[in-house]
Structure formats: structure tokens, C-alpha cells
Structure 1
């Protein structure tokens, strides 16, 4: 098996489509299909079931994918090893919580791009649980997520501490605890968001019911709906400060055990060397 064929197979498995895999690999679609057919013929197994334009990986394909990941990773590590101290280049895929991307990353990304203009930066945002899976599935090279992280497959380092605040509409009275916002709708990101879990835990720990949870895709939408009186939310104070949104809502201080949350940078433990990634990690220490 050639590494190039395994790379094509892996990309088709990740994209679920020959067309999308061809675009990602900068190859013509017929070449990708031909190489995939050749690989199946050489192995004597069906790697994908075709359903229209979708490619559904088979059990045999899933087993091969595990080996393809390892072989391609070892090949990349071997190249970096023999080249020695390689200058960061190529693509760096970064995962980040949306609020972190808005409040913390612009300065870091700008400085990194100026220092390493040959690195192509790709940013994927989402909740913590989603981002951890993206790292584990080799979809991103590293991610900024909320602690605690209990995955032995991942290396992790703390990068900063956020202060979370409770948001209510501007006319709401003082908030000393969950009872002061009882039966309010909780506004947050989709399931898997660590900040949303903290807000739900704050209510549950006090034995105070809330009306329901409404999910949103952006923090701007959450803040806008809080300002309109739709419910309450939990958000890093830094986001409100940088975006000048403090006048549209009220920010209520929370107890330290709820408010203080550490943001961690995580990456796969079994990929010890990655020039572009390692330079990005080092940029947070500057």
C-alpha cells in the first residue's frame, strides 16, 4: 500500500464524499475514485458502501483507517525528525470555544501570522466536548477548551483563567443566587458547552428550577436575547469588556467556585512533534 493511496482513503473517510475529498486534496475526482478502487482491489475488500454521492465506511474500512492514521502520522513525524529543527509551515488547524476565539485569539493569531506567514491557519469553533473529539479524531491539531479535561490521550497546559458572570436584562434587580432568577430560561450554546454546564449546575446545586434551555450558535445572539429579557446566561466577563456590551445587559458577579474557570490548550499525546503547533503553543508563553 502506498502512503499516497492511504492519504486519499483517509480523506474520503473524513469527508464522506469523493467530490469533497478531491477538492481538499487538489486532485480531480476521477483520480481519487480510481486510486480508491485500486486500493480496494489490492486488499480484496470493500472499504466504502456507496449511497448516492455519500461514501459510508465499512467495518473493514474502519479497521484500515486506524492503521492509516498511525502510518501517515509516523511518516509525517519521520520527515520532521530527519529535517531537524523545521521552520513552521503548512496548515495548522486550531479549535477554540467561540468566546475564546472572540476575546483571546485575535492578538495571538495576528502575532503568530506575522512571525510565521508560511503557516496556513484554520480555525474551528465549538463547545468543549466537540473540540476534544475534533482533536482525538485528528480534525484539529490543538484546541482551547475549558477545564477540567480528563483524557489520558491528550497533553494539556493551562493558558489563562476566565471570570464568568451571570447576564440578565438591564432592568433586572440584584442577583445573590439562583433563587433570584428562578424559572428563567437559560440561554447558552449547544450541548457540550462547559459554560452552559456550569450554569445548569449552579441552578441544580441550589435546588432551584429553571424554565428550560434555549440553544444558540453565537454569543452575540445569546447576549442579544438576554438584553431582550428572554432569559439569563453565563459568559466570560472579558468578552463583554472587549465588545463594549456591558451597557446592554447587567453583569452579576458569581461565587469563585462557579466564576473561575481555567482554559486549557490540548493536543494529542501521541504526536509529540509538530513544528507549527509547537510554535503556536510557545506563543502563549510570550
Structure 2
């Protein structure tokens, strides 16, 4: 199918004037006439007729014009969609624990939208395990998680590392001997099977602390708030409790040499997608500035 001949026919059919069609297409009139004759021979119909000095479309010409217009409109739509792929656009969904959403991603989202106004962002607040599940199920395009990701389907991008700190409130620490505090009050921790539970257990084992009483929570923010109500002790990332330690609302019992990792995870098969790649780049850039 020679699209050049069909385009020539479309312009001639729009103008019904060979001189104007030749000027628009940049062809000579004889060239246009040859292309039209070739197309009529190919289709086996007469497309144009003349009445005096006027050119008109035959019934076959009107039918061909209708489909030619549709064809070129679809091609233009296709080209426009292909051009969009060169720049981020559409919906981008990010999943992350509540702490990352409130303390980090709010600034990142603002910066990303400023650079990519055609992208609509959606943010899911959930624990790290659920965030990884959403990425695996294509319910989220990428995730920021605490701890490692062992899935062979995922590309893991390290963002940062921070201390783990065993904390309680200043009030409880002043009212009790440390041994009594650890024995009497519950240890507030992540729900069983959470992404960093193994690291928490390793730290407690290093410290020689084997709590008998547990309270399990779904997020690190919930753990911190529960501790702040004088409920017990918890092991949390230093960034999460930095302000409360500085103000004296929380007290540091022990800081561990083991580090908690922050990672960005993306399905390997989707890492080249424009939206994902552009967002991953800005996350890495801003996170590096924070470090």
C-alpha cells in the first residue's frame, strides 16, 4: 500500500483543485495526476470527475475519501501516542510504609510533578511486605521499603542505611531500673513475618534481650506512637525517632551496629518504562542529598 498516493488523493479530495493541492504537497501537477491515475488503476475505480472547470468526487471517490480520512487520523493518533512515550505521562503508583510517605515521599512527589506535569501520581501507604506484593502484582509501579528484597523478579536499588535504636520514653526509663523495665513492659514490634523482623530478632539476640511480652503493630509509626504512650520498649530506625530523642520524649537504651536498609524495588521487566525510570532517578538524586 503506497501511502503517498493515498495522501495525494486526500489533499486533492479536500481542495478539489490540482493547483492548490500541488502547492500544499510540493509536487508538480503532472506528478499528482500520475499518482491519482495509478491509484485509480490499483483500486479499479474512478475517484474524480470533472464538470466544466469543476472537479468533483465520484461515489467511489467519496467512499475512498471516508476511509482514507479515518486511516490517516488513526496514524496521527498512533504517532501522537508514540511521542508520549518519549516523556513521562499517565499514572504512576508508588507504595511505601507510612514513615517514608510522610517524611520523604511528600517532597519527592512535589519535585517529580514539577518536572513531569503530565504524570498523575498515586501513593499507597502500607508496610514493606505489602508494598513488595503490590509491585509484584503490578498494583504499584515501584515501592520504597525498609529491609531487603529477595525476589529474583525485583530490581533492588539501595537508597540509604540507618542505625537501629532500642528506645522507651524518658519517663519510664527514669521511673524504673533498666532490667525491671525490660522485664515488666512489653516489647512493641512489627507484625510477624514483616520484612525487617529477622533483623530486629538478630539485634535483640546480640543485646541478650528475649522479651516475653509482645505487642505487634502494622507500621513503624504505630510502634513509635505506642511507645510514646509509656507502653513499653521498641527497636526502630534512628531517622524515625530522631526528633523525639532530641526533644527528650524518647530515651535511647541501646544503639546497634547493625543497620536497617532503605531500598527501592521495581520489577526487572518494567525498569525501562519511562515513568518508572524517571521517578527512580529523582528518588535516587534527592535521597543522596539527604544522606
Same fold (TM over 0.5): yes
Inter-partner Cα distance in structure 1 for 2:89 and 2:128: 27
Aligned partners of 2:164 and 2:256 also within 8 Å: no
Quick check: 226-235 or 207-216, which moved more? 207-216
Shift of 1:84: 7.7
SS in 2 for 1:267: strand
The answer for the alignment partner of 1:223 in structure 2 is 224
Quick check: 178-187 or 151-160, which moved more? 178-187
**Taking structure 1 as reference, are residues 179 and 87 closer, same or farther at Cα in structure 2, changes over 3 Å only?**
farther
**Taking structure 1 as reference, are residues 137 and 184 closer, same or farther at Cα in structure 2, changes over 3 Å only?**
same
- Structure 1-normalised TM-score? 0.61
Cα deviations by residue, 1:48-72 (Å, 9 ceiling, x for unpaired):
xxxxxxxxxxxxxxxxxxxxxxxxx
The answer for the alignment partner of 2:260 in structure 1 is 261
Aligned partners of 2:271 and 2:277 also within 8 Å: no
Inter-partner Cα distance in structure 2 for 1:132 and 1:104: 18
SS in 2 for 1:284: helix
**Taking structure 1 as reference, are residues 214 and 181 closer, same or farther at Cα in structure 2, changes over 3 Å only?**
same
Shift of 1:243: 7.2
Inter-partner Cα distance in structure 1 for 2:245 and 2:117: 31
Aligned partners of 1:142 and 1:267 also within 8 Å: yes
Shift of 1:273: 2.4
* 1:252 aligns to 2:258 (yes or no): no
SS in 1 for 2:240: helix
SS in 1 for 2:152: coil
Count of residue correspondences = 206
Aligned partners of 2:203 and 2:256 also within 8 Å: no
The answer for the alignment partner of 2:282 in structure 1 is 283
* 1:159 aligns to 2:159 (yes or no): yes
* 1:96 aligns to 2:131 (yes or no): no
Aligned partners of 2:127 and 2:218 also within 8 Å: no
The answer for the alignment partner of 1:241 in structure 2 is 242
**Taking structure 1 as reference, are residues 243 and 212 closer, same or farther at Cα in structure 2, changes over 3 Å only?**
closer
| RMSD of aligned alpha carbons | 3.3
Aligned partners of 1:161 and 1:263 also within 8 Å: yes
Residues 11-90 of structure 1: pairs in structure 2 closer than 5 A = 82-83=82-83, 86-90=86-90
Inter-partner Cα distance in structure 2 for 1:101 and 1:200: 25
The answer for the alignment partner of 1:212 in structure 2 is 213
Shift of 1:249: 1.6
Give structure 2 stretches of 5+ with no counterpart.
1-77, 286-291
User: Comparing both structures, which one devotes a greater share of its residues to helix?
Assistant: 2
Give structure 1 stretches of 5+ with no counterpart.
1-77
The answer for the alignment partner of 1:122 in structure 2 is 122
Structure 1 residue runs of 4+, over 6 Å off? Answer: 78-81, 177-180
Inter-partner Cα distance in structure 1 for 2:93 and 2:179: 39
SS in 1 for 2:263: strand
SS in 2 for 1:270: helix
Rg (Cα) greater in structure? 2
Shift of 1:94: 0.5
Shift of 1:245: 7.4
